[in-house]
Amino acid sequence: QKEVEQDPGPLSVPEGAIVSLNCTYSNSAFQYFMWYRQYSRKGPELLMYTYSSGNKEDGRFTAQVDKSSKYISLFIRDSQPSDSATYLCAMKGAQKLVFGQGTRLTINP
Amino acid sequence: GAVVSQHPSRVICKSGTSVKIECRSLDFQATTMFWYRQFPKKSLMLMATSNEGSKATYEQGVEKDKFLINHASLTLSTLTVTSAHPEDSSFYICSAKSGQETQYFGPGTRLLVL
């Protein structure tokens, strides 16, 4: 079993839709949870960084962590074509960052 | 947010030659830098972790004599792919962090070995 599971997609939605991206994990030592956005042929860009269970909102993005279920989510409201990218969840405990496989998202105008 | 740069962004080389990739933290001092490799449509694979002034720690299966890492200062780390072969062609990404802060990634370097 992989430490972090993420559906690779691809996921295609119309502009303006609410997007839900998810990851599950097996290592209960993970304490820090991140979402990165990666455009084609570019390095990952940090979107959200959370530590505790609950919700964290930043503009159109909301990150949700449920440590009891070992489940994290990223919601994108009012999605835009410019949101089209690959979204990677990442998490760490005391050691290295572990990435999900990434979900390729396309927002259709 | 913190800025990390990489140079070059793209490099093509002949098989058997060595290639050096630079990673710089532009507006912060990076106590730790990381080197990743990414294959098409795949996630990032950690190759090694380097702390300034000490030897890099390589992940299992990564040849340290092939992928030489130097972290000589708090703002610069280099990855040298020695005697490159076509199977080394990939997207190499570095990241940097200061203390317990989160990692910030560079834009990546695309290596093509002919």
pLDDT in tens, B45-100: 999 999 888 889 999 999 999 999 998 889 999 999 999 999 999 999 999 988 76
In a 13 Å sphere around the CA of A42, the CA atoms on its Cβ side amount to 13
Q: Is A48's pLDDT higher than 90?
A: yes
d(CA B91, nearest CA chain A) in Å: 8
Q: Which of B6, B103, B110 sits opposite A41 (nearest CB)?
A: B110
Q: Which residue, among B114, B82, B110, has the nearest Cα to B11 in the 3D structure?
A: B110
Of B46, B107, B110, the CB nearest to A96: B46
Q: Do A42 and B108 touch (CB under 8 A)?
A: yes
In terms of DSSP H, where are the helices of chain B?
none
A86 against A7, higher pLDDT: A86
The mean pLDDT value for A34-43 works out to 92
pLDDT at position B1: 65
B-contacting residues of A 2-31, CB under 8 Å?
8
**pLDDT surpassing 70 at residue A58:** yes
pLDDT at A23: 96
| Position A51 confidence tier, pLDDT thresholds 50, 70, 90 | confident
Separation CA B11–CA B20 (nearest Å): 10
Distance CA A56, CA B101 (A): 18
Q: State the pLDDT at residue B93.
A: 97
Q: Residue B43: which of A34, A45, A99 has the nearest Cβ?
A: A99
